[in-house]
Amino acid sequence: RDFLRRWLLTPPPPQVASSMASMVAYLKDDCPPLPSFEIPPLGKVLSLIRAGEASAQIFREVLLSLEATVDVLNIMDVTEEVGAYKEGDDIETDEHNFIISLMDILRYESGIDAVPANLRHRCLDAAQIIEDVVSIHGHHDSVTSRGDKVTGTGDIVPLAFYERNEKHWRGRIKPEAPPEAYD
C-alpha cells in the first residue's frame, strides 16, 4: 500500500515505470505463480540484528524472504552467463524480460546495482549463514530426542523444571553453532 501511494505521489522515472508495466503484463498473462512474499519490516529487522536482539523468528522470516527471492530468480535459469545481462542482449524471453524489469525496479528502490546471478548467490549465502545457526523447524533434533523428564534425581532443581520452563525458546539456536556466529 505504501509503495503504491509513494509511486502515485512521486512517480518514478519513465524507465522504471515501463519496467513495472512490463512486469504487470507478464504477471497477468499465463505465467508460473510467484511465491508468497512477506517481507519483514526492514528498519525493525536491521535495528534488531545490529543490537544483537533479533530472535530466531526474525531470522526465519528473513530466511523465507530470501528463499522467495531465489525462487523468483529461478523463474529464469539465472546462470553466470545469463545473469550477467547487458542492455540490448538478444535473449528475449518473457521470463528474461521479467527479471530485467525486476532488477530495474530493485535498482531504483534500493540503490543496489544487482545482477540476477549475484543477487541469487548473495541470497543463498545469507540463507546458509542463517541455517547454520538458527534451527529452521523450531526445535533441534537433539533437544526433542531427550523428551521431558518428569524427575531429576540427584539435582537440586529437577531437569524437568528447566525443560518445561524453557521449551518456548529452547532448540531455536543450534547448539553446535560456534559462538562467533552469534556476533
For residue range 30-46, list pLDDT tens digits in order: 777 777 777 788 888 88
Q: Above 80 in pLDDT, residue 11? A: yes
Coil/strand/helix, residue 145: helix
- Residue linked to cell 541469487: 120
Q: Write the single-letter amino acid at 162.
A: Y
Rounded-to-integer distance, Cα 62 and Cα 68, Å: 10
Q: pLDDT tier at 178 (50, 70, 90 boundaries)?
A: low
Total Cβ atoms within 10 A of residue 108: 15
Closest among 105, 83, 163, 171 to 133, alpha carbons compared: 171
First to last CA, the chain: 35
Cell representation of residue 158: 529437577
pTM of the model as a whole: 0.66
Give the rounded percent of residues in the chain with a pLDDT score beyond 70.
65
